[in-house]
Amino acid sequence: MDHPRQVVAIMFTDLCGYSASMQRNEAQALEMLKVHWALLRPVFARFNGREIKTIGDAFLIEFPSTLQAVHAGLAMQAALIEHNQTEEEEKKIKIRIGIHMGDVERVGNDVFGDGVNIASRIEPLAPPGGICISESVYAAVHNKIEVPFFSLGLQHLKNISQPVVVYSDSPEQARRLSHKSSLGQFGRRNVPVIAAAALLLIAVVSLLVMPDSPIEEGRNWLQKRRNELFSPAVHRLAVLPFENLSHDPDQDYFTDGMTEELIAALAKIKNLQVISRTSIMQYKDSSKSLPQIAKELGVDLVMEGSALRSGNRVRITAQLILAVPDQHLWAETYDRDLQEILGLQSEVARAVADAVKIQLTPREFEQLSGARKVSVEAHDYYLQGRFLLSQGGEMDIKQAIDRFDSAIQLEPDYALAYAGVADAYWLLADYFLPPSETMPRAKAAALKAVSLGEDLAEAHSALAAVNFFYDYDWTATEREARRAIELNPSLSDAHFIYANYLSARGLHAEADMENRKALNLDPLSVFKNEEVGWMLYMARRYEDAIEQLHHTLELDPTDALTHADLALCYIAQNQIVEALAEAKKALQSGDDPMVPATASYVFGIAGLKHEARAALSELENIASVRYVCPYDFAAAYLVLGEKDRAFEWFNKAYDDRSVCMVWFKVDPRFDGIRSDARFKDLLFRMAL
C-alpha cells in the first residue's frame, strides 16, 4: 500500500540537560518537563504546527510552511527566555531546535523519511537556547524574517549520505563551527580535529605499508575523509553593481557587463554562493547601507566597486567587505588595457578566494586561469547584447540578437555569444513570436555554444531550456540542466529550468528544492518568485502558493501574472470573492495573454459566463496583433463548456511546440478531462 507523501517543514526540539537533571533531582526534572510542555504547545498551535509525537523530552512537530516553523521556533525561544527570567539557575529551561523542509511519508499519524531524519540530525548542532536550520529552510525564509542566521558550512550528519549546509542563529557558533577545519588554530577546542588528523596520518602509513593495498581506492578514501573532516565554510556573496565613473549613460552597458562577468567568474568557486544579476541590479544607485543590503540578500560578503573606461584603457576598483561587522577584507585598483579585461575578472576572483581563505581546487584554478581571448570589439558587442537582453522588451531582445551576431562575426568561436543568441531566441518564443520562428534558431545556437565550450554552464542551461520548452525531450532536459548545475552551482537560471522540468513531470518535492536553490541565488527576481508560486499551484499546494505569491507582490505590487496566479489559487479553494478581486487586478495591471485567459477561467468557474466570454474576446483581440499561446485559448474554452474547441486548441498548441504545453500533465484546471481519450493521447505524444 502506497502511503501519501508531502513536502512539509519538520521541527525537532530537545530539552537541554534533561538526563543529567533526572539523575540529580527526578521530581524537579519531571516538573520542568511538564512546564516545558505547557509553555511550548500553545506556540505550536499559534503557528499551525501539528505535534506528531513526543520522544522522551523531545518534540517532533510539522508545519505547513517553513516561515511558520521558523517563526514558531523564535517564539518558543522567546517564551522560554521570558520564563527563565524569574527562575533559579537549575530550574531554567533551555531547548535546542532543528528545522528542515523535506519530503515525508505519512503512515497513520506519524511521518517518516529524510525530511524527518535531517531535522533530527540538525537539532543537536544548535547551542542551548538556539535554532539551527537547513539550507532549504534558509533559502525560503532568510529575506522574510528579522533575525539573521549564519552559515555553519557543510555539515556531515550521521546516517545522511550527502552533507548539508546548516545555518544557526548564533554568530559565535557560526564562527566556531564554520572554521573548525582551520589547521592554524590548535587550541583546546580543536583536540577532536587534531585526533582526526592523527588518524588520517596512521591511515596513510597503513596504506603505504600494506603490500596488497588498492592504492587508488586508498587515495579516494583519504580524500573523502579529508573532505568530511575539513569542509570549508560556504560564503554567500553579493557583487553590487559597479559604479560608472564616466557618468556617461552610454557606458552603463560596460560597467553592468563588468559586474555580470565578475559574478560569472566568482560563481566558478564552489564554496561561494554568488547572488544573480537580476537581484543585485535592484541596488543600482541605491542609498541603502551595505549591512542592510547584506541582510536583504542574506549574504555575509559584499563586493562593491567602480569602472572608468577611457579609450582602450580601463581602471577597475573593487573592495570586499564582511557585512557584519562592516569590516573591509580586501581592496585593489587595477589599470588595464581593454584586451586584458577578461583575465582581470579571473584575477579578482582568485583574490577574493584568498581573502576569505578559500583554497581553490585544481579545476577551479584552471577555469579561472583559462579565460578565452577575444577581441575588444567582439567583447564590447557581447556586453551590449547582455545589457539589452536584461531590459526584457521585444525590441530590446531583437537588438541583443544583433549585437551577439556582430560579436560572432568578429569571433566565430565565441561560445558565450552563441549562448546569448540562444537565450534571446527562446525568450522571444510564445510571448512575442511563434515557437516555430524562434526555437530552432535557439537550439542551433545552444548546440553551437556547447560544442565550442563544453564546460560553459550558460550554454548547457540554454540548451536545457530549448530541450524542455520546445523539443519536449525530457531526458535531454534533465541531462543538460544537471550538467549546467554541476559546472556552476551558483547559476540560478539552471536550477530554475531544472525545477520547471521536475514540476512539469509531477516531481513536485524535488522541484521545490531546486526552486529554493534558485531563489536563494536570485531572491529579488519578480519573475522567478512568481513562477515558484505557479509551480506550487501546479503541485496543488494552494496555501503555500498564496503565501509565495503575496511575497512576490511585496517585490512588485503591480505584477499582473502574480495577481492572475493568485486568482487561480483562490478559485481552486472556492474562495470566490478573493479570486474575482485578483482576476480584476490582473486585468488592470498588464497585457500578458495569460491574464485574460486566466480571468476567463476564473469568471467561468464563478458562474459569470458573460464576463468569461468578455475576457476571451480580449484574448482574441491580443491574438490579432501578436502571437498568443493556443494553450491559453484551450483553458478559456474549456471552462465555457466547449470541450471540443478546447481540444482543437490543445492540438494546435502541441503542433506549434508551444512553451505552455509542458504544464499539460499537471495543470489543475484540466482535472475534469483527464479521463478523456484525447487527453491521454496528447500525454502519450508528449511522452508525459
Look over the chain and give the mean of its residue pLDDT values, rounded to a whole number: 84
**462 vs 420: CA distance, rounded Å:** 9
Q: Name the pLDDT band for 637 (thresholds 50, 70, 90).
A: very high
**338 vs 324: CA distance, rounded Å:** 35
Output the pLDDT for position 617. Answer: 93
To the question of pTM greater than 0.85 for the whole model, the response is: no
Q: Name the pLDDT band for 209 (thresholds 50, 70, 90).
A: very low
Q: In this model, does residue 462 exceed pLDDT 90?
A: yes
Q: In this model, does residue 527 exceed pLDDT 50?
A: yes
How many other CB atoms are there within 10 angstroms of residue 71's CB atom?
19
Average pLDDT over residues 315-322: 88
Query: What pLDDT digit, counting tens, does each position of 23-59 carry?
Result: 788 888 888 888 888 889 888 888 888 888 888 788 8
Output the pLDDT for position 48. Answer: 87
Distance of CA 340 to the CA centre of its chain: 33
**326 vs 328: CA distance, rounded Å:** 7
The share of the chain scoring above pLDDT 90, in percent, equals 39
* Domain limits, the chain: 5-178, 192-229, 236-371, 393-488
Q: Name the pLDDT band for 370 (thresholds 50, 70, 90).
A: low
Output the pLDDT for position 175. Answer: 56
**What kind of architecture, by CATH, is found in domain 236-371?**
3-Layer(aba) Sandwich (3.40)
**639 vs 583: CA distance, rounded Å:** 15
Q: Please report the sign of the dihedral spanned by the C-alpha atoms of residue 85, residue 90, residue 93, residue 95.
A: positive
- Between residues 302 and 189, the one the model is more confident about: 302
Is the backbone of residue 303 left (phi > 0), alpha (psi -120 to 50) or beta?
beta
Most confidently predicted of 70-84, 246-260, 291-305, 643-657: 643-657
**Candidates 1.10.10.10, 2.40.50.100, 2.60.40.10, 1.25.40.10; correct CATH number of 393-488?**
1.25.40.10
**505 vs 456: CA distance, rounded Å:** 26
Which of 430, 427, 391 shows the shortest CA–CA distance to 593? 430
Query: What pLDDT digit, counting tens, does each position of 131-190 carry?
Result: 999 988 988 887 777 677 888 877 888 878 778 888 888 766 655 555 443 333 333 334
Output the pLDDT for position 616. Answer: 94
Q: Name the pLDDT band for 199 (thresholds 50, 70, 90).
A: very low
The CATH homologous superfamily of the domain defined by 5-178:
Nucleotide cyclase, GGDEF domain (3.30.70.1230)
